[in-house]
Amino acid sequence: MITVSSLSKSYGSQVIFDRISFTIGAGERVGLVGRNGSGKTTLFRLILGDEAHDGGTITIPRHYKIRHLSQHIRFKNSTVLGEASRELPIHEDGIDQSYKSKKILIGLGFSTDEFGRNPHELSGGFQVRLNLARVLLSEPNLLLLDEPTNYLDIVSIRWLTQTLRDWKGEFILITHDREFMDNVTTHTMGIHRSKIRKIAGSTHKLYDQILQDEEVYEQTRINEERKRKDAEGFISRFRAQANRARAVQSRIKAIEKMGKLEKMPEANNLDFQFSSAPFQGKWLLEAENMSFSFQSDSPRLIKELSFAIKKKDRIGVIGKNGKGKTTLLRLLAGNLMPVEGRVIVHKNVELAYFGQSNIDLLDPARTVEEEILGVLQDYNKNAARNICGAMMFEGDNAMKKVAILSGGEKSRVLLGKLLARPSNLILLDEPTNHLDMESIDSLVEAIDNFPGAVVIVTHSEMILNAVAKRLIVFDDGKTSVFQGTYRDFLERVGWEDEDKNMAFERTDEEERERPSIKKKEQKRLRAEYIQVRSKALGPLEQKMASVEREIMDLEKKIGDYNQTLIRATTLGDGKSIASLSITIHNMRKEIDQLFEELDRFTKEHIARSNDLEKKWGEITSTIQ
């Protein structure tokens, strides 16, 4: 347990923390949220003692072990397995604990062939994974995780989700993936306007509470401002009248006691929509028996893949890193040519492509505005400034040079360039890297509202569940088209590597070397398990979906009522203000009750699912 009391931190005139206080209790798994630049990583550095605070205290018990996922990687062992096991606690009976290291390395996507490799030979992404494995294996009291999913693929993220759910100590997690955070945490802590707030529950619950508090604050401020103006008007009118002197003095004292609530500055939000180009045909693009490899003698990354993209399609491209997802988008964009088959693009297609490597194509000497103007057909400065504003480069910020921008800011420039030209087919390759939660929500909404087609490469299960209606899957050495949602895919097919990870669970070396289940029998049992699971969990999942829809409907109504409340406030309609405030308050209470109901359903779903997985594991483990 750690305790933070009245902690303050500033950089020059920029206040990061203004006398914040919180505790991390035993067994608490805390999600730390806040906009980019709000101080999340700074808080980690303060807790670790890597940076000094200006005031307040951070109290850490003696012998309380803290470890964090550092971006500065230093290897001390000559093998992957040795490095992962570097801080592995020694068993009191001297029992070899290396099986734990192997299990975690497999979960993070390493193959057994890589255990003996030198860590310095690994790619940057796998070096970060190795660092994460070492931190997890050190078994600290408190684990500080800063964007641990950045270099993980979707299968490894699913493994890490289960690992963190089972974590026995405490951790604080920073991630832009809202669903991942809500799946593994017990509490949410938000940095907002240089203050910090911690609640038991999800990110949704925290943001709803912040929004409600700010609405109350603003309404109170408006009411007090009206009272102040009335009092000042009274003083101005009757100051010279002796018979009103006592009443005037009373108003003056009331104003002095009242103080003044300052209007809160507007929070910057990424708020935009993709500009659409008309399209009259049925198919925008068709891939026919498409195959590709970078060298003629190398294995095919993509082999005989066929599919078509029609208007309003939402296609998710999923799979482990390095298997060909980005290559597929480059083929569709015409940046690469297939070695066999062909890609047929309709003549009226207007294609927009967002790729992480495209950041390197930005001109460091240009300003943000100049980058946007470079793709505008009519070189309209007003239109460019509007797009800059939508991408959170308001005013003089639009004149920033690309050279001084952060990775997240450069990503926003690329998104802005997509907005500058109308399109009817958008290709997005990991567009959420460097974006905060609020920006990701805006992106998902923009995709949902776009009338054209979208193909998106992402490791975020939240985005896949929100967007994708069809999938292109890279798994088990194959590329295939799946007709259905991501949830359908998990229920009907599942990830091949997850089955392999389950087979690795035994701790006995000899047992681990032989297959745990015959392949055909495993497939049969998997199909049987899926049917049983669907029957057991289907009705519960329908209830959860129904509650989620009710919450969304109520939130939309509250948004409409808030607009009406603003108009009533402007008109000074006290009766309507009172009525609307009561209605909004009651609806928020109803939402809280629905969230509690959803939380119960979710816990029941997890318990049932874990029970089914356990029973299925017991059945399969008996088959030789």
Please report the pLDDT score of residue 163 as a whole number: 92
Q: Across residues 334-350, what is the average pLDDT?
A: 92
Please report the pLDDT score of residue 105 as a whole number: 92
In a domain, 269, yes or no: no
Residues 375 and 488 in one domain: yes
Name the domain count of the chain.
4
Q: Tell me the C-alpha to C-alpha distance, in Å, between residue 201 and each of 206, 227, 228, 529.
A: 7, 38, 39, 31
DSSP 8-state class, residue 282:
S
Residues 345 and 446 in one domain: yes
Residues 49 and 160 in one domain: yes
Please report the pLDDT score of residue 434 as a whole number: 74
User: Of the candidates 50, 22, 42, 66, which has an alpha carbon nearest to the alpha carbon of residue 170?
Assistant: 66
In a domain, 58, yes or no: yes
- Name the more confident of 163 and 239: 163
Please report the pLDDT score of residue 516 as a whole number: 43
Please report the pLDDT score of residue 91 as a whole number: 65
Please report the pLDDT score of residue 560 as a whole number: 81
What's 473's domain CATH number? 3.40.50.300
Residue 623 neighbours by CB under 8 Å, 6+ apart: 516, 517, 518, 521, 525
Residues 338 and 487 in one domain: yes
- Please state at what angle helix 98-107 crosses helix 154-165, rounded to 10 degrees: 130
- Please state at what angle helix 496-503 crosses helix 154-165, rounded to 10 degrees: 50
pTM for the structure as a whole: 0.69
Tokens, residue 612: 């089914």
- Name the more confident of 461 and 506: 461
Residue 17 confidence (pLDDT) above 90: yes
Residues 575 and 484 in one domain: no
Q: Across residues 508-529, what is the average pLDDT?
A: 52
Residues 71 and 191 in one domain: yes
Q: How many CA atoms lie within 13 A of 602 on its CB side?
A: 16
591: number of Cβ within 10 Å: 20
Please report the pLDDT score of residue 590 as a whole number: 87
Please report the pLDDT score of residue 267 as a whole number: 57
**Residue that finishes a domain, picked among 186, 207, 228:** 207
Please report the pLDDT score of residue 515 as a whole number: 44
Please report the pLDDT score of residue 507 as a whole number: 45
Residue 86 confidence (pLDDT) above 80: yes
In a domain, 248, yes or no: yes
Strand 470-475 versus strand 478-482 pairing type: antiparallel
Residues 435 and 494 in one domain: yes
The DSSP annotation for 285-335 comes to EEEEEEEE-SSTTSPPSEEEEEEEEETT-EEEEEE-TTSSHHHHHHHHHTS
| In contact, 175 and 34? CB cutoff 8 Å | no
DSSP 8-state class, residue 221:
H
Residues 184 and 160 in one domain: yes
Residues 27 and 176 in one domain: yes
- The residue range of the domain holding 410 is 283-498
In a domain, 273, yes or no: no
Q: Tell me the C-alpha to C-alpha distance, in Å, between residue 304 and each of 288, 293, 313.
A: 8, 12, 21
Strand 142-146 versus strand 170-174 pairing type: parallel
**Residue that finishes a domain, picked among 468, 498, 528:** 498
Tokens, residue 413: 């420039």
Residues 301 and 422 in one domain: yes
| In contact, 31 and 180? CB cutoff 8 Å | no
pLDDT tens-digit map of 89-132: 776 666 677 888 998 999 998 988 899 999 999 888 889 899 99
Task: Tell me phi and psi for residue 317, to 5 degrees.
Answer: -110, 120
Residue 510 confidence (pLDDT) above 70: no
pLDDT tier at 265 (50, 70, 90 boundaries)? low
Q: How far apart are CA 158 and CA 109, in angstroms?
A: 11
**Residue that finishes a domain, picked among 177, 192, 207:** 207
Q: How far apart are CA 210 and CA 225, in angstroms?
A: 22
In a domain, 503, yes or no: no
The DSSP annotation for 46-105 comes to HHHTSS--SEEEEE--TT--EEE--SS----SSSHHHHHTTTPPPPTT----HHHHHHHH
In a domain, 238, yes or no: yes
DSSP 8-state class, residue 338:
-
Cα–chain-centroid distance for residue 513?
Answer: 37
| In contact, 498 and 188? CB cutoff 8 Å | no
Residue 240 neighbours by CB under 8 Å, 6+ apart: none
DSSP 8-state class, residue 265:
P
In a domain, 173, yes or no: yes
Give, for 31, the enclosing helix (H) or strand (E).
strand 29-33
Residues 407 and 519 in one domain: no
Q: How far apart are CA 531 and CA 534, in angstroms?
A: 5
User: Of the candidates 145, 84, 160, which has an alpha carbon nearest to the alpha carbon of residue 119?
Assistant: 84
Residues 87 and 116 in one domain: yes
Residue 504 confidence (pLDDT) above 70: no
Number of residues that this document lists for the chain: 624
DSSP 8-state class, residue 504:
T
Sign of CA dihedral 562, 564, 570, 575: negative
Q: How far apart are CA 598 and CA 180, in angstroms?
A: 17
In a domain, 29, yes or no: yes
| In contact, 598 and 605? CB cutoff 8 Å | no
Give, for 355, the enclosing helix (H) or strand (E).
none
490: number of Cβ within 10 Å: 16
Please report the pLDDT score of residue 51 as a whole number: 92
Task: Tell me phi and psi for residue 422, to 5 degrees.
Answer: -60, 145
